[in-house]
Amino acid sequence: IMEDYAQSIVETIKSHSDAGLVLLPNTRRGKLFAARLGHRLAAVVSNDAQSLSTQNDALVAKHMVYGGLAFGDETLTTPYCV
């Protein structure tokens, strides 16, 4: 059902800006939709982020790693990020 309107949302996003961040709920449906948007926008997709910050003009997502024993940072470098 989401795949029916994914392209419409991509076109809307691209018509407003050449770069941006799309936030979606951390649900199965949200993750599926994130993958579809990421592919169509040629965007990096970062699931299960605990927090977002900026470092050196780049967006950084913080994730739990090693089964929750530590945190790792992921730098998101594409113009669109999901």
pLDDT at 1 over 70: no
CATH no. of 3-81: 3.40.50.620
Q: Model pTM?
A: 0.83
**Amino acid present at 49:** A
- The dihedrals phi and psi of 66, each to the nearest 5 degrees, come to 55, 45
**pLDDT class of 2 with cuts at 50, 70, 90:** low
User: What is the side-by-side order of every strand in the sheet holding 51-55?
Assistant: 51-55, 58-65, 70-76
Q: How confident is the model at residue 4 (pLDDT cuts 50, 70, 90)?
A: confident
For 22-67, how does the pLDDT look when each residue is reduced to its tens digit (9 = 90+)? 999 999 999 999 999 999 999 999 999 999 999 998 999 999 999 8
Maximum CA extent, the chain: 41
Domain ranges (residues) in the chain: 3-81
Q: Are strands 51-55 and 58-65 parallel, antiparallel or unpaired?
A: antiparallel
Strand partners, 72: 63
